[in-house]
Structure 1
Amino acid sequence: MSDAARKDTPEQAEFRQYCRDWLQDNLPPEPPVRLPLSPLEIMTEPQLHYLQDWQKKAYDAGLVGCDYPVDCGGGGRNDCQRVANAEIAAVRTPFFPNVIGLGMAAPTVFFHAREDKKRELLPRLLSGEDIWCQGFSEPGAGSDLASVQTFAERKGDKWIINGHKVWTSLAHFAEWMILLLRTDKSHKYDGLSYFVVPIRSELGKSITVRPLIKITGETGFNEVIFDNLEVDDAYRLDEVGKGWQVAMTTLAHERGAGELVTPRSGGRGKSAGKESGSVFGSSALVDLAKTSFRNGKTAADDAVIRDRIMQEMIREEGFKQSSRRARVQGLQDHPMRIPLQNKLLMTEITQDVAELATEIEGAAGSLYLADPNAPAGGRWPMAYMNSFGMTIAAGANEVQRNILGERVLGLPKSK
């Protein structure tokens, strides 16, 4: 029995057993197509539909949205989402495609939207029927989020939106976008407002989505251009001029590295792949080292390689144990410490593990996904190249260090 299971309440213990039984009988079939490494890199309709079907099935069974109120499409449970996440991770199912919806849009809508909009938007978000994307970064405002210039002008009970967003993952499939806008050009922070806006229904009319092809050949990123998009004021979250505060809700969850929200407990549980060891975690390096040969010996025979793998295992275990503090109220000395620290550490550990894997593979690490001789299907080099986006997303890691130093540790601002 795991440490988490031993600490279950009676409700959680009963729900954990239910999750295990359901997953044993309902694992998804083998995908008909090659799946991407990340939900942010879904490129084709067959990939999307397979993953949407899996999320909808898990949602219908009560394993997604467990802790949201029933009238918002949730299960009405108490701190059970982390239980479902742990059991899903243990059997290593495919990921849920609506990662931005679950990890960022859902908590923001839940905490800031009107009650009727929660009931309208959350059920299809949680089920994965509506894919969501995030409209924050702009060509001239990446890590300096408060400098966004995409503008919304009020016209009665409507808003007219014009501007340009970039690095917008999943916009090519999204039905909805969470969108930070400027509504007042005379104030940097107080001039921002936050909306949810339709995407798919406005393609070719008021919205243009253009894919950005990465060095990996993937097209998960997009740029989105708004040309007089008209949005009802009912889709504004919180008050006009309070967009920065609403955005902090989104960022707090985004910097939690994709965790699924459990609003009734105020905490967040690990998403699939983190508690039991991802196929790209340090434990996978052991198998890779045992099967990678150089000069007649395996990489596992190299004491330096063994030591480096062990160092990554230690870092991952430290990350896991540190993350447990998020569930203990008495250890929450600052609300930004654990989310920012976790984002910072997780992305750098992921990058370092992938880099070590490509070193272990040696020359074979240059082989692409389609090459039958590529170790591990060619996925480690892809993971390494994609890892640089992770250290930039949700605010570059340099920004995270500044925030932790200045706002959490109380250090003076850098000159």
Structure 2
Amino acid sequence: MSASARKDTPEQAEFRQYCRQWLAQHKPGEPPVRLPQSPLEIMTEPQLHYLQAWQKSAYEAGLIGCDYPQEVGGGGRGDCQRIANQEMIAARTPFLPNVIGLGMAAPTVFYHGQEELKRRLLPRLFSGEDIWCQGFSEPGAGSDLASVQTFAERRGDKWVINGHKVWTSLAHFAEWMILLLRTDRSHKYDGLSYFVVPIRAALGKGVTVRPLIKITGETGFNEVIFEDLEVDDSYRLDELGKGWQVAMTTLLHERSAGELQTPRAGGMKSGATHDTNSRSLIELARTTRRGEGRAADDPVLRDRIMRAVIREKAFEQTLRRSRNQALLDHPMRLPLQNKLLASELAQEVADTALAVAGAAGSLYLADDNAPAGGQWPMAYMNSFGMTIAAGTSEVQRNILGERVLGMSKSK
């Protein structure tokens, strides 16, 4: 029995057993198409449809949205989503495609949306029928998020939106966007407001989505252009000018690198085509030839691998602290720390894997000789985006130092 299972209440233990039984009977077979390493890199309709079907079946079985109230489409359980997540990861199920919806949009809409909006949007979000994306970063506003300039002008009970968002993952498939914009140019923070916008219905009618192709060849990123898009005031979350406060709800969930899809924590990943963790790193070292022996016999590589294993195990224990109420005195402490640690750990593991693979680590996905199907170089290149997204590692350290530890501001 795992340490997590030993701490289950009787109700949670019963739910865990239900999850295991259901997953054993309903885990989907091999996908008909190659899946990307993360839901943020879904590129084709067949990939999306396969993953949407999986998310919908898991939702209908009660494994998604568990902790949200039943009146908004949730399961009405208490602290059970983490159990479903743990069991899905253990069963190596496909990842859930609506990661932005589950990890960021759902808690934001739940805490700040009108009741009618929650009942309308959340069930289809949980089921994966409506994919969501995030409209935060702009060409001139990334880590300094409060500098966004996408503007909404009020006209009666409508708002007319103009502006430019960038690095928008899943926008090419999204029905809805969570959107931080400016409604008052005279105030930096108090001039921001927060909307949910039906961008799919507005394509060609005020919304343009353009793909951004990365060095990996993936097209999960997009830029989104708003030109006189008209939306109703009912799509605004919370009060006018409270967009920064609402955005903090989103960011705290985005930066949570642990268990996902609850109103308190954000996003999940599990088995895609290949795991890129220390367990797979060890397997790569054992199976990669190096001279007359194996890469695993190289003492320098063994030291690097063990450092990655130790950091991964330490991070797993750190995630358990997220349920310790004594450590939740500051809302930014654990989410920022976990995001920083997770992104840099992923980069270290991928970098070590390329050192293990040697020259073969440069082979791409389509090459039959590529170790582990060519997933490691993809993981390495994508890891640099992870240390930038949701605030760079440097920004995370500054916030932790200044706002959590009370250190003086950096110059």
Among 353, 378, 389, the residue aligned to 1:357: 353
Among 265, 268, 287, the residue aligned to 1:268: 265
State yes or no: 1:385 paired with 2:381: yes
Q: Which residue is 1:372 aligned to?
A: 368
- After TM superposition, give the deviation of residue 194 of structure 1 in Å: 0.2
- Structure 1: state its 5+ residue gaps: none
- After TM superposition, give the deviation of residue 257 of structure 1 in Å: 2.7
For residues 217 and 272 of structure 1, the distance between their equivalents in structure 2, rounded to whole angstroms, comes to 21
Contact 1:179 1:197 in 2 (8 A): yes
Where do 1:288-307 residues align within 5 Å?
288-307=284-303
Partner SS state of residue 257, structure 2? coil
Partner SS state of residue 40, structure 1? helix
Q: Which residue is 1:164 aligned to?
A: 164
Contact 1:82 1:269 in 2 (8 A): no
Partner SS state of residue 201, structure 2? helix
For residues 262 and 11 of structure 1, the distance between their equivalents in structure 2, rounded to whole angstroms, comes to 18
For residues 316 and 267 of structure 2, the distance between their equivalents in structure 1, rounded to whole angstroms, comes to 10
Percent identical residues: 76
For residues 235 and 126 of structure 1, the distance between their equivalents in structure 2, rounded to whole angstroms, comes to 19
For residues 35 and 241 of structure 1, the distance between their equivalents in structure 2, rounded to whole angstroms, comes to 41
Partner SS state of residue 177, structure 1? strand
For residues 169 and 203 of structure 2, the distance between their equivalents in structure 1, rounded to whole angstroms, comes to 16
Q: Which residue is 2:207 aligned to?
A: 207
When residues 269 and 13 of structure 1 are mapped into structure 2, their CA distance, relative to the original with a 3 A threshold, is farther
- After TM superposition, give the deviation of residue 269 of structure 1 in Å: 7.7
Q: Which moved more, 1:246-255 or 1:316-325?
A: 316-325
Cα RMSD of the aligned pairs, angstroms, is 1.2
Partner SS state of residue 265, structure 2? strand
Q: Which residue is 1:394 aligned to?
A: 390
Contact 1:92 1:272 in 2 (8 A): no
- After TM superposition, give the deviation of residue 262 of structure 1 in Å: 2.5
Letter in 2 for 1:234: S
For residues 232 and 257 of structure 1, the distance between their equivalents in structure 2, rounded to whole angstroms, comes to 34
- After TM superposition, give the deviation of residue 258 of structure 1 in Å: 6.9
Q: Which residue is 2:17 aligned to?
A: 17
Q: Which residue is 1:103 aligned to?
A: 103
For residues 265 and 212 of structure 2, the distance between their equivalents in structure 1, rounded to whole angstroms, comes to 31
- After TM superposition, give the deviation of residue 259 of structure 1 in Å: 4.1
Partner SS state of residue 190, structure 1? coil
Letter in 1 for 2:75: G
For residues 392 and 326 of structure 1, the distance between their equivalents in structure 2, rounded to whole angstroms, comes to 23
Letter in 1 for 2:62: G
Contact 1:253 1:259 in 2 (8 A): no
- After TM superposition, give the deviation of residue 147 of structure 1 in Å: 0.2
TM-score scaled to structure 2, two decimals?
0.98
The superposition leaves residues 24-63 of structure 1 with CA deviations (integer Å, 9 ceiling, x where unpaired) of 0001121111001110000000000000000000000000
For residues 382 and 272 of structure 1, the distance between their equivalents in structure 2, rounded to whole angstroms, comes to 16
Where do 1:2-401 residues align within 5 Å?
2-257=2-257, 259-263=259-263, 267-268=264-265, 271-273=268-270, 279-401=275-397
Q: Which moved more, 1:291-300 or 1:59-68?
A: 291-300
Contact 1:131 1:173 in 2 (8 A): yes
Contact 1:86 1:270 in 2 (8 A): no
The superposition leaves residues 386-414 of structure 1 with CA deviations (integer Å, 9 ceiling, x where unpaired) of 01010000011110000000000000001
Partner SS state of residue 196, structure 2? strand
For residues 292 and 213 of structure 2, the distance between their equivalents in structure 1, rounded to whole angstroms, comes to 39
The superposition leaves residues 337-374 of structure 1 with CA deviations (integer Å, 9 ceiling, x where unpaired) of 10000000000000010010011111101111011110
For residues 28 and 175 of structure 2, the distance between their equivalents in structure 1, rounded to whole angstroms, comes to 24
When residues 258 and 6 of structure 1 are mapped into structure 2, their CA distance, relative to the original with a 3 A threshold, is closer
TM-score scaled to structure 1, two decimals?
0.97
For residues 355 and 49 of structure 2, the distance between their equivalents in structure 1, rounded to whole angstroms, comes to 35
For residues 204 and 413 of structure 1, the distance between their equivalents in structure 2, rounded to whole angstroms, comes to 45
For residues 270 and 174 of structure 1, the distance between their equivalents in structure 2, rounded to whole angstroms, comes to 17
For residues 287 and 148 of structure 1, the distance between their equivalents in structure 2, rounded to whole angstroms, comes to 45
When residues 150 and 269 of structure 1 are mapped into structure 2, their CA distance, relative to the original with a 3 A threshold, is closer
For residues 145 and 208 of structure 1, the distance between their equivalents in structure 2, rounded to whole angstroms, comes to 22
Partner SS state of residue 48, structure 2? helix
Contact 1:102 1:260 in 2 (8 A): yes
When residues 160 and 269 of structure 1 are mapped into structure 2, their CA distance, relative to the original with a 3 A threshold, is closer
Partner SS state of residue 179, structure 1? strand
Contact 2:94 2:270 in 1 (8 A): no
Letter in 2 for 1:114: Q
- After TM superposition, give the deviation of residue 272 of structure 1 in Å: 4.1
Consecutive aligned runs of 4 or more in structure 1 exceeding 6 Å deviation:
none
When residues 318 and 20 of structure 1 are mapped into structure 2, their CA distance, relative to the original with a 3 A threshold, is same
For residues 258 and 205 of structure 2, the distance between their equivalents in structure 1, rounded to whole angstroms, comes to 32
Q: Which moved more, 1:216-225 or 1:332-341?
A: 332-341
Partner SS state of residue 201, structure 1? coil
When residues 156 and 131 of structure 1 are mapped into structure 2, their CA distance, relative to the original with a 3 A threshold, is same
Contact 2:59 2:126 in 1 (8 A): yes
